Amino acid sequence: MLTLTIEPNVGIEAPAETRSAPVTTATLTGFNMKAYMDDNAQLFFSKHYNWSAGQTINTEHFWPNNRTVTFCADALQSVKTFTGLNLTATPAVTFDPTYTITNGTVKGEFTYTSPCSGEQGSNWYDALVQPDPIVAIKPNQVKQETTVPLKFHHPLAAIRIKVGTVPENILVRDTYLKRIIQTGDCEFVASGTDDNITFTWSNQTNK
> Which pLDDT score is estimated for 35?
94
pLDDT at 57 over 50: yes
Q: What single letter denotes the amino acid at residue 200?
A: T
Average pLDDT, rounded, for the chain: 80
pLDDT value for 97: 95
Give the number of other CB atoms < 10 A from CB of residue 75: 24
Task: Report the helix count and the strand count for the chain, using DSSP H and E.
Answer: 0, 13
Looking at the DSSP bridge assignments, the partners of residue 184 are 112
Q: What is the pLDDT of residue 10?
A: 46
Q: For residue 118, is pLDDT > 80? A: no
The answer on pLDDT for 44 being more than 90 is: yes
- 20 pLDDT more than 60: no
| Least confident span in 51-60, 92-101, 125-134 | 125-134
> pLDDT, tens digit, for every residue of 152-199?
998 987 777 777 788 888 887 777 777 777 889 999 999 887 788 999
How many whole angstroms separate alpha carbon 40 and alpha carbon 42? Answer: 5
**CB atoms near residue 10 (< 10 Å):** 22
> Other C-beta atoms within 10 Å of 65: how many?
6
pLDDT bracket for residue 93 (50, 70, 90): confident
User: In sequence order, what are the residues at sequence separation of 6 or more whose Cβ sits closer than 8 angstroms to the Cβ of residue 96?
Assistant: 74, 110
DSSP state of 129: G
How far from chain centre, in Å, is Cα 95?
A: 9
